[in-house]
Amino acid sequence: MSVESPKPKTKQGLSRHFEGWQIGAILIGIGVLSGLLAIPRAVAPEQLPLPHISESDLRDDLREHHALAAAARQQGLSFEARTVGEYLRKLGNAEHKSRGLPAAGLADRLNDLRSSVAGFRRARGQTADRELSRLRAVQGELFVLALRGRGPAPDLTELGGAFDNAPGHASWFDAERFVGDDVEALLLFKVRWNHVTQLDDAPDFALRPNEWLALVRFLLQHPEGNDVGAQAHSQLATLDALGKRQPEYPLAFAQGTVFYRQGAYDVAALAFEQHLEAHPSGPWSLRARNHLLAARERGSSGQAALATDALTQR
Residue 112: which residues within 8 A CB-CB, separation 6 or more? 87, 90, 91
Alpha helix (H) residue ranges in the chain: 22-37, 55-75, 79-97, 106-124, 126-147, 153-160, 182-196, 209-221, 228-245, 251-261, 265-278, 285-298, 300-312
- CA dist 181 and 64 (Å) reads 18
Beta strands per DSSP E along the chain:
173-174, 177-178
Question: ∠ at Cα 85 (84, 88), nearest 5°?
Answer: 90
Spell out the domain ranges in the chain: 55-228, 250-307
Question: ∠ at Cα 68 (141, 159), nearest 5°?
Answer: 30
The size of the chain, in residues, is: 314
Give the pLDDT of residue 225: 96
Residue 37: which residues within 8 A CB-CB, separation 6 or more? 286
Give the pLDDT of residue 125: 96
- CA dist 72 and 123 (Å) reads 20
DSSP 43: -
**Residues of the chain scoring pLDDT < 50:** 1-6, 8, 11, 13-21, 24-37, 304-314
Give the pLDDT of residue 285: 96
Residue 84: which residues within 8 A CB-CB, separation 6 or more? 113, 116, 117, 120, 132, 135, 197
Full-model pTM: 0.84
From the CB of residue 277, how many other CB atoms can be counted at a distance below 10 Å?
9
- CA dist 113 and 89 (Å) reads 9
| Burial category of 132 from C-beta neighbours within 10 Å (exposed 0-12, middle 13-18, buried 19 and up) | buried
Give the pLDDT of residue 300: 82
Closest Cα to residue 202, out of 312, 141, 120, 142?
A: 120
CA dihedral sign, ordered 228, 235, 220, 156: negative
For residue 180, the SS3 value is coil
